[in-house]
Amino acid sequence: MGIQNFAQLLIFGSFIGLVGWTITNQVGRTQLQVKSREDWLIDVAGLTIQGILIPLLQATLVYWLYQHLLPTQQGYLKVSLIPAFIISFVVVDYLYYWNHRLLHTKLLWKVHQVHHTVTQMDVLGTSRNTLWTSLLIIYLWIHTLFLYLLADPTGYLLGVSLTSALDLWRHSRLIIPVNTRLYQFLSSWLILPQDHAWHHCHENYNYAANLKIWDKLHGTYYESEKLPSIIGIPSSLNLFQKLLFPF
């Protein structure tokens, strides 16, 4: 199996597994049952864009752009598997931390606010956004750039797929029990679902995707072993505004 196929399988398998867990979990199943038609439409649109349209843009238009801007740099970086993985999972995670903080500034908050209309941790709401917000997220541009520059993108792709799988998990209610060794191991360094839930409760905390160190380093980390009782923000936007805002 090629690494690209493995990466796709990891992401798709994580999504199907989390959806399956949500359906079999009583609380998760209840959430799906009370989910409004409007929320279903927005979430399905977001997942379609993030899962299909963005990869197509990366493989075609954005890749073509780098070919014209950097015609002699394709495959220029000779980096082995582990350093390439670190670039993807650690370095890009730090860039995303600042990208995410920028989306919470006064300039861009009105665009990003749609993502925060999620009122329950729900894997289907992972990509809830306006139809064009993905153009403002660094992954579209930085992933394509490194895949263009790296002579062997294997390690980088592994980092991308693991980040995507963790993003799906981070938006779910699948919580690791606190009194387990796995929780003790992961909770010191990895952003967990409860960490991201508190971001959806208090928008000024826990911006990172993978690693807690960035929030701890910049004083934006909020820690709790439990999920908040209420998340999300009220919004007066109608369906079309949530999909197309501010156009």
Phi first, then psi: give them for residue 230, nearest 5 degrees. -135, 130
- Determine, yes or no, domain membership for 229: no
Range of the domain at 73: 3-174
pLDDT above 70: residue 2: no
Does the structure show a pLDDT above 90 at 77?
yes
Number of domains making up the chain: 1
Is residue 35 a part of any domain in this protein? Answer: yes
Q: Domain for residue 235, yes or no?
A: no
Asked whether residue 105 is assigned to any structural domain, the reply reads yes
For residues 18 and 236, the model is more confident at: 18
pLDDT > 70 fraction of the chain, expressed in percent and rounded:
98
Q: Is residue 97 domain-resident?
A: yes
Please indicate, yes or no, if residue 181 is contained in any of the structural domains: no
Residue 5 has pLDDT above 80, yes or no: no
**pTM, two decimal places:** 0.93
Of 215, 197, 194, give the one whose Cα is nearest residue 206: 215
* Cα distance between residue 202 and residue 47, in whole Å: 24
